[in-house]
Chain A
Amino acid sequence: MPSPLPRSVDDSVKLLRDGGYVADRSLATAVTLALKLERPLFLEGEAGVGKTEIAKVLAQTLGRRLIRLQCYEGLDVAAAVYEWNYARQMIEIRMAEADSTSRSSIEQEIFSERFLIRRPLLQALSPDPAGPPVLLIDELDRADEPFEAFLLETLSDWQVTIPEFGTVKAPAPPITVITSNRTREIHDALKRRCYYYWVDYPDAARELEILRVKAPDAPRRLSREVVGFVQKLRGEELFKLPGVAETIDWVKALVALDKIELDPETINDTLGAILKYQDDIAKIRGATAAQMLAQVRAELATAGA
């Protein structure tokens, strides 16, 4: 059953929670603002902290359609907004020739809605019976500057212009979520049109709560040790720190291996689930891992006592 739009920050926390997303109150505030004031939400953060997930959860809990635009370098209007169906247009022209239709009517005919292929942005601007869809513009930092400039117009006026066809304007702005991994800075002009939120790594308590939701069958002790270990790892000088996604993966892997607690040997064998660079693995594996685990255990013991 789709929920109504949240009216307050508490509603947003609950909404995200219903979709299995454990959110900070600060994030919920940004979400509330974006939904109430119909502005895009701009999420920046390291890979694997759950940026994309927010859009998915919003679509699911609000019962809206999720339209995803994955960005890449060279993404252009033909792939992001619309394209004409050239093969069908050609056939149409040949048929018109056979019927000896007048030129102007051919031109009108082949650039009509029938031959228009709608790409994600145009889909998001089209009316939807379930309400405005959720538009996820994923990893905008991968797209190049010209596309970013194009987005400026779309995101402020919610309309696109197709020269042969006319202007398409959204009846209501889609719920827009833009994510960036910060492999380059997005221009301020675009950020200004959005509500900005930096998605950080969660603290231990929240990460534990996330595990409880995302991996409910993991033994409690195991989850606590894993969270403690991952939190320790994030304090190290690593090339790529493990995100929440990695923590969840790791716990699931450990559950699949029937582990009920961490031990140095298991850590060494499964380190590949959380660290994705050989240098990082080599740095942590063995003595460092064992030492970190001992620290985590000691901390848990004092906290439990």
Chain B
Amino acid sequence: MTPPVDLAGADDGDGRLIANVVHFARILRGAGLPIGPGRSIEAVRALQAIGVLSRQDFYWTLHAVFVNRRDQHEVFDQAFNLFWRDPQILERLLSFLLPQALSPDGEKRQDGKEKLSRRLAEAFQAGHQHDRDRPKPLSNEEDEQQIDAVMTWSNREILQEKDFEQMSNAELAQAKLALARLKLPFNEMKTRRFRPSHRGARIDFRATLRAWARSGGNSASFARRVQRTRLPPLIVLCDVSGSMERYTRMFLHFLHALTNDRARVHVFLFGTRLTNITRALRHKDPDRALAKVAASVEDWAGGTRIGHCLAEFNLRWSRRVLGQNATVLLISDGLDRDAAVGLEDEVERLSKSCRRLIWLNPLLRFSGFEPKSSGARAILPFVDDFRPAHSLASLGSIADALSADVGATRRGYRWQSRATAATTQPG
């Protein structure tokens, strides 16, 4: 247990510093930083230890206590500058922003501090509200464009919100069934951890010695152990452009089930831009999860810029999510608005930074299909596993397409020959 803080000692007489630190912590909490009451105590203790002399030291001391992710820095910085400059100025400023909060009665005089912090929190929330309420550009023209987007790719980015039908009970049951059937190639990976097993190939010396010591050395048997296996992290990059639209809802249901079924799944959607929807999909309820996804993605059923989106993924996310032998599942038809410019380099980089790259292509509805589009030809040489999906009518068929046993393929080898054959073919 940590000893209680000597609050009296930290005080400059009238308790203002502590009160202000507590208020400041509350404002940060209001702005979304995960700060519990314990942190305020820690902040006071830290200020005591440092002995604040300058504003800079004061800043960085609070920073060390309240911030624990890099992206929280901005919020902290703004809040700090706003709060610690001059609470009076702030109060006056706020009175312009929130006239209704300052009712003409004298109540604010009596407990000024209490009101101040609450209003600041409101100010933060008001800012958020503002962002959310901003109308999304949407016009009839764009709606029309979306209609014939299937099997082609549009030249415009369509910014609109998507409304998914609710998931039926039958579908829910089907999703669970499909996941139970799902076996990704090279599913389980050996780890460096072990568990006891009678048939293990390795001797568990620790258990053996304990047994021997217990029996006084009369036992001659060995305890054995095997390596534990574990599912590798799975990163899904799913195309939601116009040409993929008819599958989007089903894929999202599938991805939702997948996210909640196993640990370490990250899901990104891309059309003209890349969106990380992992957090939204973590909602247990599929309908709420999908509503959240619909709100966070802005480029439903628009064009596709595969190369651009993969470049963004490689630059911003690959090092953060592709560690620990991740498998990447790319769901796309390979139709690219940018005519596959730069796509080849990005797929190569992606394939080199993950353990396995699996491509699921729903365009292949005929058995004899050869990938001919420039996008598909750029992707093919670098995938480890190519999963054509001839009919994607249900979640079950996605699972089947992914589980189908194609045998071990050497990276790029098998499909390279097919891709070159496709290029030489006329038409």
A positions within 8 Å CB-CB of B: 8-9, 25-26, 29-30, 32-33, 36-37, 42, 44, 73-76, 84, 86, 89-90, 93-94, 96-97, 102-103, 106-107, 110-111, 141-142, 144, 146, 164, 181-185, 188, 191-192, 194-198, 237, 239, 279
Contact = CB atoms under 8 A, between A and B. Distances in A.
Interface string B26-42: 00000000100001000
B60 interface: yes
A144 B324 contact: yes
A84 B320 contact: no
B231 to A, nearest CB: 12
Contacts of B68: 42, 188, 191-192, 194, 196
Contacts of A97: 216-217
B21 interface: no
Q: Sort A-B residue pairs by CB-CB distance and give the 8 closest, nearest first.
A: A74-B192, A103-B216, A29-B60, A183-B323, A86-B205, A191-B68, A107-B213, A196-B68
Contacts of B209: 84, 86, 89-90, 93, 110
B212 A93 contact: yes
A103 B315 contact: no
A142 B325 CA distance: 11
9 contacts: A8-B50, A36-B49, A90-B209, A94-B217, A102-B216, A194-B68, A195-B64, A239-B315, A239-B349
B370 interface: no
Contacts of B134: none
A94 B323 CA distance: 46
B210 interface: yes
Nearest to A93: B217
Given A74-B191, A90-B209, A198-B70, A30 B60 contact: yes
A205 B91 CA distance: 38
Contact of B193 (A74, A103, A111, A183): A74
**Interface size, B (range):** 35 or more
A281 to B, nearest CB: 14
A75 B216 CA distance: 32
A182 B50 contact: no
B213 A93 contact: yes
Contacts of A144: 191, 324
Contacts of B314: 239
B200 interface: no
Nearest to A44: B70
B56 interface: yes
Contacts of B324: 73, 144, 184
Contacts of B217: 93-94, 96-97, 106
A190 to B, nearest CB: 9
B215 interface: yes
Interface in B202-232: 205-206, 208-210, 212-217
B272 to A, nearest CB: 18
Interface in B177-197: 191-193
A162 B24 CA distance: 43
Contact of B65 (A8, A86, A111, A195): A195
Contacts of B57: 9, 25, 29
A103 B214 CA distance: 7
Given A37-B49, A196-B64, A182 B320 contact: yes
A111 B205 CA distance: 13
Contacts of A192: 39, 68
Nearest to A103: B216
A196 B212 contact: no
Interface string B331-372: 000000000000001000100000000000000000000000
B351 to A, nearest CB: 14
Contacts of A195: 64-65
B46 interface: yes
B319 interface: yes
Contacts of B208: 86
A40 to B, nearest CB: 12
A76 B213 contact: no
A142 to B, nearest CB: 7
